[in-house]
Structure 1
Amino acid sequence: MDFTECYGDSVSSVAAAARSGCRKRVRRLIKRGFSVDCRDNRGWNALHEAAAAGSKECVRDILAAAGGSSRSCSAYVNSLTHEGESACHLAAQRGHLAVVRLLLEAHSNINQLTNDLSCPLYAAVDGGYKEVVELLLSKGAEVNRTHTASCWTCLHQAVYKGHSEIVRILANVCNLEALDDHKISSLFVAAQYGQQECLEILVNAGANVSTQAADLATPLLIASQEGHQSCVDYLLDHGADPNVACSHEWPQLPIHAAAEFGHISVLRRLIAVTDRACDRSDGMVSPLYVAIHSHQSKSVEMLLREGFSPDAQDCTHILGIRSPLSFALCRTSSKPYSESVGLLVAAGASLSEEDWIYALATDETDLLQLILKHRWIPRPETLTRDCSVPHHHGKTVLKLQEVRELLCVALNQVHFAARWLPLLLKAGLEPSLLLQPHMLEQADSEVLNYLLEFVNWSNLSPPLKHILDRRRTEKTWEPCPHFDSVPCLSHMCRLQVRSVLGPDLLMRTDVVQQLPVPSLLYDFLQFGDIPEASYTHSPPSPLSNRLQGYRSAHEHRHVL
C-alpha cells in the first residue's frame, strides 16, 4: 500500500505547524490542548513532521508535550509511520544532525528497521550525510546488518553511491567481506559501478580483490564488462587474476566480457595479461566467439591483430559452434556479410564445406568475392599435402583440403554455377578441375558453354564426350557452333600461355601485361572475350534448408 502521498485534510494542526517549522504556533496549539499524536493518512504524527523538517526546537517542544513520563516519551519517540519510519530515521534520511542527536538523547531506537529494512544509519549513508553517520556510529549503531531486499550492508550502499568519505569511515568498522543475496561484496560493487576511489579505499583496507559472486563473477570481470578502465587497471595492479573462470557454464574470463561489450582499451590491457590458452585449448572458448556474437567488429579486429587465431578451437560441445567463421556467417542476418566475416577471412580463417555453401549456394556473390579478395587459389600441381605455400602476393593460399571442399560444394551447387563459375575461373581456378561428369550432366546450356570455352573442347575424355553427345541428342544442351570445329590457333596459344604461367598468375595478376605481345591481346589472354552465362533461376530455398540438405546428401563422405 502506498503511504507516500500526504492528504492535506488528514494532517493535524500541530503536525502542520511542525512541518513549517513554526515553533510559536506549535507551542500555542499544544498549550490549547491540541494532540501531538494525531496521525495523517501516512501514519505521520507531529514528531515525524518536525523531525523531517529538521526543526530542533519543534522536536523538543513536541517531545516535552508527549512526555508525561519517561516511559511514555520513549514509546512516543519510537512511534512508526505506516512505512515503519521512526522520527530518527526521517531526520537521518534528510541529514538533520541536531535533530538526530536530540532524538537519540530521548532514547530513540538507533537500530529500528523500516518496512523495507532500512534504518537510520543506512538512510544517512544513502544520503551521504557524513556527520550523521559519525554520530550514529559513536552511539553504537549496528554496522553489519543487512538491509533492503538485496541484503546490502551500509558499506555496500556507501560504495554504490560513491560516498568515499563515508566508505573510508565504514571500512574501519564494517566487515569488508560481507555479501549480499548474490554473494556480492562491497568491493565488487565498487568495480561494477566504476567507483575507483571507493575501490582504492577498500583494497587498502584489506578487501579481497579476487572475491567471486554466486555466479563466479569477479570484480575484474564486472569492471571489464562495464568498461571501467581505471578500475580494471587498479585491480590488475593489485593482484586480481585475469585467468580465473567466472562462470558455471563455460570458462568465461574478463577478456571475454571486454570483447563482448566492445571496451577496446580494457580489452587491450587484458590481452597482455590473459593466458592464450583461452584461444587454443580444448574446453576453453576464444574471446573471438563472444565478440562475433555481439557484433563487436572492433573487438574482433583487435584480437586478430594481437595474434588470436581466426580458427580458434572447436566449441561444438560447449556452445554448439564449430569455428569463429561459421559462427560469423550464421550470425549475419542480412547481406552484405558482417565486418567480422571479412576480418576473419582476411586473417586466414580456414574454410570448411559448410562455409563454401554460404559462398556458393546462393544467387549472391558478395561472400565469394570477399573470399577471393583475400585467398589465393593455388595451381593444380601444388595441390598436394606436401606442397603448400602459406602466402602469395600478400594473400593466404587455399589449403588442399579447402580446395577439395570448394570443388565438392561447387559440383553440388551446379544450379548456381552462372554466379560462381566466372568468379572462380577469373580467380585462377583450373577449369579442368570442374570437368566432371556431374557438372556436364547438370549444368545448363549457357554455363556448360562458358566452361568449355576455357578448355580444349576437342580433346575431352570419351566419357565426357559421351555425356555431351547424349545431352545434344536430348536437346538439353545447345553447344556453341564452333565447338564442332578444332579450336583455333589463337585459343590453343592462350591455353598454352595459361599452362606455362599457371591460371593463378594469368587470371589474377598483371603479369600478362609484361608479356612481349601487343596490348590488344591482354584481354584475350585472360579470356575476357567470353560472355558470362545469364542467371535465370527462381529464388533459392532458405540457406538453412540448403545446408541441411547438403549435410544429408554427404554424410557418407564428411561429418560437417
Structure 2
Amino acid sequence: MLLIKDADVNAQGGYYGNALQAASSRGYEQVVKMLLIKDADVNAQGGYYGNALQAASYGGYEQVVKMLLIKDADVNAQGRVYSNALQAALYKGYKQVVKMLLIKDADVNAQGGYYSNALQAASHGGHEQVVKMLLIKDADVNAQGRYYSNALQAALDKGYNANINAQGRYYSNALQAALGRGYKQVVKMLLIKDADVNAQGRYYSNALQAALHRGYKQAALDKGYKQVVKMLLINSANINAQGGHYGNALQAASYRGHEQVVKMLLINGANINAQGGHYGNALQAASHGGHEQVVKMLLIKDANVNAQGGYYGNALQAASDGGHEHLADTLLKAGADQC
C-alpha cells in the first residue's frame, strides 16, 4: 500500500537506515523483492548494520542474501558494528551465507568492526568449518585486531586458530586463550603449528598457567586438562616459569585442587617452594582453596609450611581465612607457626 502511494524506498533515517535494510534484517523475502523491484538502493549505507547485505548476512537469511547479490550488492561494503557482510555472517557461523559471499570475492582480510576481521569473528564463535573455509581463502592468521588482538585469540576465546604467538590483551596469545577455555583440540592444532608454549603473557603469564586455571571439578580435569598439561610438557613448557596471577604452574594447579596435575608437575621437577603470585606459594594456594589432598602431597614433598609471602602471609593464615579447620589442624601438626 505504501509503495502504491509512492513511498520513497530509499528514504534515509531511523535504526535500520532505510527500508531495504529493515526488511533484510528480518529476512522478509517478499518485502525485499518488492523494494528491489521499486529500485531500492541495494548499497545504501547507514543504519545499525551499515547496509542491507550485512543485515541479511547477520541473520543468516540465505535467500535474501542471494537476491541482494544478484542485484550487485557490494560484498565488501564497510559497515558499522560488523565492518562487512562476511564478518556479520561469520559471527554466528552461517556457512552457506559465507560460501555465497566468498564466491563473490568477499575480502577475507578486510579490517574493521568489533571483531576487526572475518577470522576473528568466526573464531570467537568457535565455527570450525567456517574457519577452515577462511583459511583456504588465505585469511591472514596474523592480522591484528581490536578486542581479541588477533584472530587466534578470538578463535580461542571460543575455539579455533590465528597468529599463534601474537601478543594481545587478556589472554596475551592464542595458545593461552585456547587453554584458558579448555579447547583441547584447538591446543593440539596450535602446537602442531609451533605455538610458543613459553610465550610470556599477562594474567596467566604462560600456557601452563592458562591450562591449569580451568577445570573446577576433578572429574573434568582428569578427562581433559591432565592431557592438555601433558601436551604442554611434552612440548617443552617451562614448568617453573614465573609470572602472572598465580606465579607459577604449581601454584595455579594447587589453587584449583588439581591433584593429578600437581603430581605430574612435581614429578617433572616443579619447584615446590617457588615464591610469587597472589598466594605466594603452592601450599598457601592449596590451603586457601581447602584442597586437603593437595596440601598433604605438598607437605610430603617438603613444602615449607612456614613460608612467608602472598596475600595471606602464610599457609596457616590462608587456611584459616577460608575456614578450613581440618587443614589448619594438618598444617599445625606439620609444624606451622601459630605466632
Q: TM-score, normalised by structure 2?
A: 0.70
Matched, 1:349 2:303: yes
Q: Which residue of 2 aligns with 1:153?
A: 117
Q: Which residue of 2 aligns with 1:395?
A: none
Q: Distance in 2 between matches of 1:101 and 1:369?
A: 71
Q: Which residue of 2 aligns with 1:47?
A: 20
**Over residues 465-515 of structure 1, what are the superposed CA-to-partner deviations in whole Å (9 max), with x where a residue is unaligned?**
xxxxxxxxxxxxxxxxxxxxxxxxxxxxxxxxxxxxxxxxxxxxxxxxxxx
Q: Which residue of 2 aligns with 1:488?
A: none
How does 1:13-412 map onto structure 2 within 5 Å? 13-14=1-2, 30=4, 33-37=5-9, 42=15, 46-48=19-21, 50-52=23-25, 54=27, 58-66=31-39, 76-80=41-45, 82-149=47-114, 151-171=115-135, 172-181=137-146, 184-195=149-160, 199=161, 208-214=163-169, 217-247=172-202, 252-262=205-215, 263-274=225-236, 278=240, 285-297=247-259, 299-311=261-273, 313=274, 315=275, 318-319=276-277, 323-325=281-283, 328=286, 331=288, 338-352=292-306, 370=330
Q: Which residue of 2 aligns with 1:25?
A: none
Determine helix, strand or coil for the equivalent of 1:278: coil
Q: Distance in 2 between matches of 1:356 and 1:170?
A: 51
Match for 2:93: what amino acid? G
Cα distance change on mapping 1:342 and 1:112 into 2, 3 Å: same
Match for 2:252: what amino acid? V
Determine helix, strand or coil for the equivalent of 2:294: helix
Q: Mark the runs of 5 or more structure 1 residues left unpaired by the alignment.
A: 1-12, 15-28, 67-72, 200-206, 376-401, 410-542, 547-560
Q: Which residue of 1 aligns with 2:222?
A: none
**Over residues 219-266 of structure 1, what are the superposed CA-to-partner deviations in whole Å (9 max), with x where a residue is unaligned?**
22222222222222333344233233334x89x332222233343332
- Cα shift at 1:178: 1.0
- Cα shift at 1:35: 1.8
Does the CA contact (< 8 Å) of 1:43 and 1:80 recur in 2? no
Cα distance change on mapping 1:77 and 1:162 into 2, 3 Å: same
- Cα shift at 1:154: 1.1
Cα distance change on mapping 1:126 and 1:353 into 2, 3 Å: closer
* Percent identity of equivalent pairs: 24
Cα distance change on mapping 1:342 and 1:274 into 2, 3 Å: same
Q: Distance in 2 between matches of 1:121 and 1:323?
A: 48
Q: Which structure features the higher share of helix residues? A: 1
**Over residues 523-552 of structure 1, what are the superposed CA-to-partner deviations in whole Å (9 max), with x where a residue is unaligned?**
xxxxxxxxxxxxxxxxxxxx6xx4xxxxxx
Does the CA contact (< 8 Å) of 2:126 and 2:159 recur in 1? no
Determine helix, strand or coil for the equivalent of 1:179: coil
**Over residues 241-299 of structure 1, what are the superposed CA-to-partner deviations in whole Å (9 max), with x where a residue is unaligned?**
3233334x89x33222223334333223334444566179xxx9542222334454554
Does the CA contact (< 8 Å) of 1:183 and 1:212 recur in 2? no
How does 1:373-522 map onto structure 2 within 5 Å? none
Q: Which residue of 2 aligns with 1:483?
A: none
**Over residues 29-81 of structure 1, what are the superposed CA-to-partner deviations in whole Å (9 max), with x where a residue is unaligned?**
62xx3425378964565534554565666544433434xxxxxx6xx434456
* Number of residues of Structure 1 aligned to a counterpart in Structure 2: 317
Q: Which has the higher contact order (CA 8 A, sep 6+)?
A: 2
Q: Distance in 1 between matches of 2:20 and 2:307?
A: 79
Q: Mark the runs of 5 or more structure 2 residues left unpaired by the alignment.
A: 216-224
Match for 1:253: what amino acid? N
Q: Which residue of 2 aligns with 1:503?
A: none
Q: Which residue of 2 aligns with 1:517?
A: none
Q: Distance in 1 between matches of 2:316 and 2:26?
A: 70
Q: Distance in 1 between matches of 2:282 and 2:26?
A: 62
Cα distance change on mapping 1:224 and 1:353 into 2, 3 Å: closer
Q: Distance in 2 between matches of 1:139 and 1:367?
A: 65
Q: Distance in 2 between matches of 1:289 and 1:328?
A: 8
Q: Distance in 1 between matches of 2:237 and 2:296?
A: 26
Q: Which residue of 2 aligns with 1:485?
A: none
- Cα shift at 1:344: 1.6
Q: TM-score, normalised by structure 1?
A: 0.46
**Over residues 65-112 of structure 1, what are the superposed CA-to-partner deviations in whole Å (9 max), with x where a residue is unaligned?**
34xxxxxx6xx4344564254333333333444543443454544433
Q: Distance in 1 between matches of 2:120 and 2:196?
A: 23
Larger radius of gyration: 1
The alignment yields a C-alpha RMSD, in angstroms, of: 4.4
Cα distance change on mapping 1:119 and 1:128 into 2, 3 Å: same
